[in-house]
Chain A
Amino acid sequence: MRTPRIALATAAASASLLVAKVAGAVDASAAGGAAPAAAPAAPPAAADVPLNWHAIIMFLIFVALTLAITYWAAKRTKTATDFYAAGRGVTGLQNGLAIAGDYMSAASFLGIAALVYTHGFYGLIFSVGWLVGWPVILFLIAERLRNLGKYTYADVASYRLKQGPVRTMAAIGALIVVIWYLIGQAVGAGQLLHTLVPQMSYQRSIILVGVLIIIYVTFGGMKATTWVQIVKAGLLLGGATFIALGVMAHEGFSFEKLFSDAVQIHPKHLEIMKSVVPIGAKPNPVESISLGLTLMFGTAGLPHILMRFFTVTDAKAARKSVLYGTCFIGYFYILTFIIGFGAIVLVASNPNYLVDATKGIALKGGGNMPAVYLAHAIGGDLFLGFISAVAFATILAVVSGLTLAGASAISHDIYANVIMKGKATEAQEVMASKIATVGLGIIAIILGILFEKQNVAYIVALTFSIAACSNFPILVLAVFWRGLTTRGAVLGGYTGILGSVGLLIIGPTVWSKVLNMGPAIFPYDYPTFVVLPAVLIVAWVASVTDKSASAQAERRAFDAQEIRSETGLGAEAAAAH
């Protein structure tokens, strides 16, 4: 069999952000030899490598298609509602696909497969944890968000509270999540493109991604972003299905054979089925529980996901979209699991893909590559090109969604409602968000380049922790608890933001590995098990002790909020066109 060109090209490059992003959950030192957590990438010798034409042609087809979508969307984006919420004309099925597109990031496609490839059964915890947030979003959040909000989840959190302080807090929470998530995606995009097409330098790859998403978002707004997501979700689901079918066909459609072959081939043998922590790590019950909490509730507090619920026609469509989304995402995560074990069977057994077959199953091109090589093993160069282009599309689409969510926090929450106190015109607000989009795109490019050689393994912990500890609990309290006051929301929200950031800084990943300050002061990677209860207590105490007249008025305003939240009466209508 022919060696894939990218494998030749990238002998020692191994800065695997995407894996680090998932494996960052765990003690990165325990992550084992095959998934090195962000070692600096060695520049591949580009000159003597043939161009990866299949991948490039498919990248170009995808880029052309998305630019056509953007052109189409731009002609239909006139009002602020068009820009932020796609005119509220997205159907349940479309939004379900777009949600799935937002959520099935390259980290979950390449990262979970890579985690399974290295650690076996342990990878399943991430598949499960990242799915179970969805039912909670449906039961508690989706319909009420659609009924109460306009463009951002801060609309809902501040519905009956003081606009200035609550929106500022919510926007800060959203922006920290968005910017760090952006850094992770930008670094991942730079490394992926550079690995797949070595002739593209890391910097040029990131600039390309930055420029494309600025074009999508400023011109096409939420309409373009949604349709880019839908196209990408379809491609990713199709591609993953094809790989999984290829694996199962190879194994005679027997799971028993798949898993026993994997156990036989993997150098750790039966240990890949026996470890509920990364292979080699000590079991740590507190960390496991905290990770479980963070994955579940973090999902329900991601601003770019929450924003999708404002794009649908009504609460009913919001509800249906979660059902579709959960089906797609659950299906996809089960596939990634098959793909991970399939990679052990078909990739780890082939010395062409390995750095050194006598020394274990570490892959050329870094720890993220199992799914990509598996595509080659199953479908040859052409399918490898397709999957590479899909992975690139995935990053572009997720970055667009994030950028739009960040821009709306800046323009709708901070500019229009906090600074202009609601007096900005619609045109001014849209202009502000376009400026914010360009700004965020440039920030993503600069930070992506600055963070190239940094250990960014803490990013998933940071973003999901803030989402789980600040955005999610304040949103749920604001919607369901009459007693919540501005003081409770603001103090609780900042407890979540500062608590997560502070404990992450003094935790093992940042304190010991990024800052090299020795043993961590706070011994857990995921602070959620401490911070989430603290947020609830602070919000409760600060609210019930608030006897001011304004707090009384806020509690009385719950009645009106509840009517709109439950019935949708007075909710933002779908645009006529």
Chain B
Amino acid sequence: MSHELTASKIRNNPKFHQLVRQRDGLAWTLSAIVCVIYFGFIMLIAFAGDFLTQPVAAGSVIPVGLPLGVGVILASVVLTGIYVYRANTAFDHLIHDIIQDASK
């Protein structure tokens, strides 16, 4: 089968548009969340250092920023996991269907 025919079949398949919409939507949403979390942390460093360096509890030397920083690292890992889970369970099936439909 010619490339053009396959391409036009895919382009006319609503599942392809569903895939692009859902996956790109998720990708950009998660990217935005990472950026908000991370640049929130950076903005605190830039403009609210005193907030970050106050102790987590009276008598402790641990600054608030420390668990927050570790939290940013853990949040990144969790968001990465969410994307992989969604892709494994939803997007891979969609891609499989799209390619099946195109080769009919």
Contact = CB atoms under 8 A, between A and B. Distances in A.
B80 A326 contact: yes
A273 B10 contact: no
Contact of B83 (A131, A138, A559, A566): A138
A322 interface: yes
A296 interface: yes
A41 B53 CA distance: 36
A121 B80 contact: no
A566 B23 CA distance: 9
- Main secondary structure on chain B at its contact with chain A? helix
A334 B88 CA distance: 28
B65 A559 contact: no
Interface in A250-265: 255-256, 259-260, 263
Given A559-B7, A566-B19, A330 B76 contact: yes
B95 A567 contact: yes
Most buried by B among A124, A131, A283, A334: A124
Nearest to A333: B73
A131 B63 contact: no
B16 A567 contact: yes
Contact of A288 (B42, B53, B88): B42
A274 B66 CA distance: 11
Q: How large is the interface on B (under 10, 10 to 19, 20 to 34, 35 or more residues)?
A: 35 or more
Given A270-B61, A276-B49, A563-B7, A296 B38 contact: yes
B69 A125 contact: yes
Nearest to B56: A256
Contacts of A255: 62
Contact of B92 (A139, A316, A337): A316
Interface string B7-42: 100110000100110011011101100110111011
Q: How large is the interface on A (under 10, 10 to 19, 20 to 34, 35 or more residues)?
A: 35 or more
Contacts of B38: 128-129, 132, 292, 296
A256 B87 CA distance: 40
B76 A131 contact: yes
B73 A131 contact: yes
Nearest to A122: B45
B5 interface: no
Contacts of A139: 26-28, 30-31, 34, 83
Given A132-B72, A138-B80, A320-B84, A569 B65 contact: no
Contacts of A334: 70, 73
B60 interface: yes
Interface string A472-515: 00000000100000000000000000000000000000000000
B77 A124 contact: no
B16 A273 contact: no
A245 interface: no
A47 interface: no
A326 B102 contact: no
Contact of B49 (A132, A283, A563, A570): A283
Contact of A140 (B31, B39, B42, B63): B31
Contact of A276 (B53, B83, B88): B53
Given A135-B80, A136-B34, A128 B72 contact: yes
B3 to A, nearest CB: 8
Interface string A554-574: 000001101100111110000
Contacts of A337: 70
A522 B23 CA distance: 41
A135 B73 contact: no
A566 B19 CA distance: 8
B99 interface: yes
Contacts of A128: 38, 41, 69, 72-73
12 contacts: A127-B73, A132-B34, A135-B30, A139-B30, A259-B61, A259-B62, A276-B49, A288-B46, A316-B92, A330-B73, A567-B16, A569-B6
Interface of A: 121, 124-125, 127-129, 131-132, 134-136, 138-140, 143, 255-256, 259-260, 263, 270, 273-277, 283, 285-286, 288-289, 292, 296, 316, 319-320, 322-323, 326-327, 330, 333-334, 337, 480, 559-560, 562-563, 566-570
Interface of B: 3, 6-7, 10-11, 16, 19-20, 23-24, 26-28, 30-31, 34-35, 37-39, 41-43, 45-47, 49, 52-53, 55, 60-63, 65-66, 69-70, 72-74, 76-77, 79-81, 83-84, 87-88, 92, 95, 98-99, 102
